[in-house]
Structure 1
Amino acid sequence: MEYKAAKINKVKKLSFKGDKKSSLRHDKKSKTKKHRHDIKESKQEDEAKDGWVPITSLSDLEGPLTFYFRDDDLIYTLSLPPREAAQTQSLDSADAEQLVQMVALNDTSSILEAEPAAVEQVFVGRKSVPATETTDPEYNMYSFKSYAGSYLSADRKGHIGCSALAIGPLEKWTPVLLPERGEGAIALMIKPPGVSEDYFLSVENPSSGNQSLAVAAKTTSIGFCQGFIAKCQAALRKHRYLPGSAGAESGPSAASRYNSGQSNDERRAEALLDKRQKSKSDRYCK
């Protein structure tokens, strides 16, 4: 007689309501919970590092920017008029040339904590010319574009405006870092055609306690009223200095590639083709 092996079913341990779960499962759950908590804390720390931070180099001037000035207990920011007011005026009107001013931020007493309260307080900086030689006077010139698409400018009389819709000699500023005044300290210099000296963006009539202060470019030296704090977005600066990014490169060759007139998409495509050609994985990229 043949006997077949009987299939023995594994008897599971009975469990009752209220019993403690196995230590293995408990440890696994605890580790998972701790991992999620660590991720959440890390994300919160990263978010805390974002926002607006003082610039540390001229390369930080490429992208969204805000400019601040401290006068006694008030913090001022460079601003155009509110959009509602600007919509009632033409950018080509004579009054528009006098609209740029320093506006008080009443909700903060620290420049380090100051952030723009409206879009008219934000400018987008970029190198205004594709100069590649560091000895070229225009190598470190920047333009600053407003939310309205117009550029910050100074005329031969020192009047500050923001009505130009294209970049010309009156819209090319040369930033001067002032490290002795702290992080982010900067002066903005300009030399309009027909003028023999360089002039600096200046705050007029400080210590007046007014909610807004006028600005001009009529001073040929850097003093208290010519010093500003420039701030950029932390997230963009962090991305700019990642390995392999344009901001992480250095030397004339990097400057040449960055200012070659190519768009970001074109530069990425070219880098991808170079990588594929080196790996010889695609005969169509040669």
Structure 2
Amino acid sequence: MSEYDSIRRGKLVLKGEKQKSRKRKHKSKKHEEEAPKVDLDRVKHGNWWKVTKIEEISGPIAIEFGDQTYVSALDNGLFTIGAPHNEGDGPSPEEILTAVLVDEKKVAFKSGYNKYLRVEKNGIVTGRSDAIGPMEQWEPVFQDGKMALQCANECFLSIDPEDDSVVAKTRRAGPEQFLTLRSQTVKEENPLKDVPSEEQGNISQIEINYIRKFQKFQDKKLKICTEAKDVLKKAKEEGSLHEAMLDRRSKMKADRYCK
């Protein structure tokens, strides 16, 4: 039987019938790594990417109106719209501003001449200020994928079609006021990526997150300690936040690890 076992059994081949050779089908790799996506818009603009939220407005910034035409600073403190750039080219040095976040809603811009942009009473935008005041603050407005910049006179930044000067004279944002802010700053990764989800948020939210994680009662109603949270803030600074939260949960008998 061992001799028969050594014979490889296959499909029965009749006399005169040609045996078809089997072609091996190469299965596509399901886990094959995908090629990184290329930001074509960024490549087109010389590695300057489109800003989509106020947190991204910092460092080198260019204000783009239309397609690859940018606001350009003049040596007399005024601004104009620069000449169109070729595809793949970024803004010129005189078209690069420095953005400064004032607060969660407002930003300020400094020209290459080290002066801050402001709007004058006549609506003309100038760059002659040495410090940031109310008139030097701008509010980015994002809506439906479009963006506009509103200044202190409640008008929006635009280009005067008569002389290509930069002005803010219109209280409603339309196609002529729509612009794109472009940045070359390296995008920072999420600073909370290594922080457990339970510890993301303010001190009150963190405590609620851990109560939900360790609660032992069946009615699913949260039992939160009503004592002041100052002790939690101090414990967080000292590195003993978890112990302090456990003590508070033990008082409410709201933790399966509490005795």
> How would you bin the TM-score normalised by the shorter chain?
0.5 to 0.7
The one of 165, 169, 177 aligned to 1:218:
169
Secondary structure of 1:59's counterpart equals helix
Q: Which protein has the larger Cα radius of gyration, Structure 1 or Structure 2? A: 2
1:81-127 deviations in Å (ceiling 9; x for gaps): 3xxxx3xxxxxxxxx34x2111122423xxxx5521x2221112122
Q: Give 1:55's match in structure 2, choosing from 47, 51, 57.
A: 51
Q: Is 1:122 aligned to 2:96, yes or no? A: yes
Give the drift of 1:230. Answer: 0.9
Q: CA deviation at 1:213?
A: 2.1
Quote the Cα distance in structure 2 between the aligned partners of 1:220 and 1:144: 21
Deviations 1:138-173 (A, max 9, x none): x40110112221111101210110111111111011
Q: Shift of residue 236 of structure 1?
A: 2.1
Alpha-carbon distance in structure 2 between the residues aligned to 1:199 and 1:177: 15
TM normalised by structure 1 equals 0.50
> Number of paired residues?
168
Runs of 5+ unmatched residues, structure 2: 1-34, 204-234, 241-259
Q: CA deviation at 1:205?
A: 1.1
**Which one of the candidate residues 143, 152, 164 is aligned to 1:191?**
152
Partner SS state of residue 123, structure 2 = coil
The separation in 2 between residues aligned to 1:243 and 1:217, in whole angstroms, is: 38
- What is the aligned counterpart of 2:84 among 93, 105, 119? 105
- Structure 1 CA distance for aligned equivalents of residues 192 and 108 of structure 2: 27
Alpha-carbon distance in structure 1 between the residues aligned to 2:50 and 2:200? 21
Could you say which structure has the greater relative contact order, defined with CA pairs below 8 angstroms and 6 or more residues apart?
1
Deviations 1:192-246 (A, max 9, x none): 4xxxxx111111218xxxxx8222111110011100011112x522x2535469x
Superposition map of 1:1-286 within 5 A: 51-70=47-66, 75-81=68-74, 86=75, 96-97=76-77, 99-108=78-87, 113=88, 115-116=90-91, 118-129=92-103, 139-178=104-143, 180=144, 182=145, 185-192=146-153, 198-205=154-161, 213-233=164-184, 236-237=186-187, 239-243=188-192, 278=239
For the structure 1 residues 151 and 225, does the alpha-carbon distance in structure 2 shift closer, same or farther, using more than 3 Å as the test? same
Q: Percent identity?
A: 25
Q: Any idea what SS the aligned residue of 2:186 has? A: helix
Distance 2:152 2:61 in 1: 22
Residues in 2 aligned to 1:216 and 1:173: alpha-carbon distance in whole angstroms: 13
Where is the helix percentage greater, Structure 1 or Structure 2?
A: 1
> 1:50-98 CA distances to partner (integer Å, 9 max, x unpaired)?
921101211011222111111xxx63101113xxxx3xxxxxxxxx34x
